[in-house]
């Protein structure tokens, strides 16, 4: 099992400054999300200040860029990181793609499948010097003059992981990607009963298995060193869960753990104009189902009890901002819990 660091809010400079400490603290990977900062810039700074830790986007919005743009920046990061980069991609939602990024949206699963194939074909042409002739339904890449070709990457292409919640995107991840990024609302029931079977079937369709396939999780965590910090973490977690649970596409994950009515209740409160009341809909019982609540040691134990054998890596979704101490403590607790389970230490996606 690999234990990773995940940030949704660190600025590139802060992440660059923190990278060496995170590496020394024993994290296996550093993940950045495309929220209020570009997901690639901070990783470039982190790459220059680390030697061992892997660097990954978790996630970068694929449809905010064309495949050539993504292929170029991922290739450069693989160079800068000396082979330690992982490209994690997701679709985002339609209104963000069309209204925030002003980019086209249609058939997200089919488009994502073609997107990944296009990126891989571009990398292939970088490495071989062959003519670029990718013609798909959504993307066409047919010009790559030597002036614009970076040539072979000595570290090879980076792995690609895809995010998804619905069955079609999960299926695409199994077919064309090297791994799967679970959403923060991915419950053990959904992972066991829906995600993994779909991944196994789609891998089998292309003659592969889950043995070489990465499943990465980012569950929401509520912990703290005292009542004040614990209360702040709980408030932040309720707000995050309420935000995600209002998205229609995540309803399937809620239904998997008996919370199918939560989405409708949140929409009822939001429809009444009471947006400030949305976090209060997430009561303690719901918080404990969709989040992992407790001291760092308790969080580590609960994580293993829920997800052991279902995933290959985890980055606990903590709301501590730029404060590294809670994440470092959680990382230590996870490793201590793993050491206490010697017969089951190989928690992986195999």
**168 occurs within a structural domain:** yes
- Structure tokens belonging to residue 208: 């592969």
The beta strand positions in the chain, using DSSP E, are 2-3, 5-7, 29-32, 54-57, 60-61, 85-90, 134-135, 140-141, 160-163, 179-181, 214-217, 220-222, 291-293, 313-314
**350 occurs within a structural domain:** no
Backbone dihedral angles phi then psi of residue 279, each to the nearest 5 degrees? -60, -30
The pTM score is 0.94
**349 occurs within a structural domain:** no
Distance CA 90, CA 83 (A): 22
CATH number of the domain that residue 137 is part of: 3.20.20.30
Q: Which domain holds residue 281?
A: 2-344
**95 occurs within a structural domain:** yes
> For the chain, how many structural domains are there in total?
1
- Structure tokens belonging to residue 199: 């991944």
Distance CA 41, CA 48 (A): 11
**51 occurs within a structural domain:** yes
Cα distance between the two ends of the chain? 11
Q: What DSSP line would sit under 61-108, residue for residue? A: EGGGS-HHHHHHHHHHHHHHTTS-EEEEEE---HHIIIIIS------H
Q: Are 62 and 134 in contact (CB under 8 A)?
A: no
- pLDDT (tens, 9 = 90+) of the chain, 350 residues, equals 999 999 999 999 999 999 999 999 999 999 999 999 999 999 999 999 999 999 999 999 999 999 999 999 999 999 999 999 999 999 999 999 999 999 999 999 999 999 999 999 999 999 999 999 999 999 999 999 999 999 999 999 999 999 999 999 999 999 999 999 999 999 999 999 999 999 999 999 999 999 999 999 999 999 988 899 899 999 999 999 999 999 888 888 899 999 999 999 999 999 999 999 999 999 999 999 999 999 999 999 999 999 999 999 999 877 777 889 889 999 999 999 999 986 554 444 44
């Amino acid at each position: 099992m690999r234990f990773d660091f995940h940030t949704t809010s660190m600025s590139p400079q802060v992440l660059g400054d923190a990278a060496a400490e995170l590496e020394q603290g024993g994290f296996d990977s550093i993940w950045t999300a495309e929220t209020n900062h570009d997901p690639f810039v901070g990783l470039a700074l982190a790459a220059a200040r680390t030697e061992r830790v892997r660097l990954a986007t978790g996630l970068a919005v694929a449809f905010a860029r064309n495949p050539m743009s993504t292929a170029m920046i991922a290739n450069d990061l693989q160079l800068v990181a000396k082979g330690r980069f992982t490209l994690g991609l997701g679709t985002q939602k339609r209104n963000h793609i069309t209204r925030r990024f002003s980019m086209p949206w249609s058939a997200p699963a089919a488009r994502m499948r073609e997107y990944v194939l296009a990126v891989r074909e571009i990398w292939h042409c970088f490495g071989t010097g062959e003519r670029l002739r990718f013609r798909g339904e959504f993307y066409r890449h047919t010009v790559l003059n030597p002036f614009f070709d970076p040539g072979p990457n000595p570290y090879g292409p980076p792995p690609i992981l895809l995010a998804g919640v619905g069955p079609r995107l999960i299926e695409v991840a199994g077919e064309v990607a090297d791994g799967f990024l679970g959403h923060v609302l991915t419950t053990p029931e959904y992972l066991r009963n829906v995600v993994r079977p779909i991944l196994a079937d789609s891998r089998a369709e292309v003659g592969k298995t889950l043995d070489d396939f990465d499943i990465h999780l980012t569950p929401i965590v509520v912990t703290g060193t005292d009542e004040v910090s614990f209360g702040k973490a709980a408030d932040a977690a309720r707000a995050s869960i309420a935000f995600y649970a209002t998205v229609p596409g995540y309803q399937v994950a809620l239904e998997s753990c008996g919370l199918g009515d939560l989405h409708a209740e949140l929409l009822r409160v939001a429809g009444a104009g009471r947006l400030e009341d949305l976090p209060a809909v997430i009561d303690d019982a719901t918080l404990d189902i969709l989040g992992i609540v407790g001291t760092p040691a308790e969080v580590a134990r609960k994580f293993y009890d829920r997800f052991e054998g279902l995933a290959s890596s985890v980055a606990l979704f903590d709301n501590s901002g730029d404060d590294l101490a809670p994440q470092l403590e959680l990382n230590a607790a996870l490793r201590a819990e793993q050491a206490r389970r010697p017969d089951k230490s190989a928690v992986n996606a195999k």
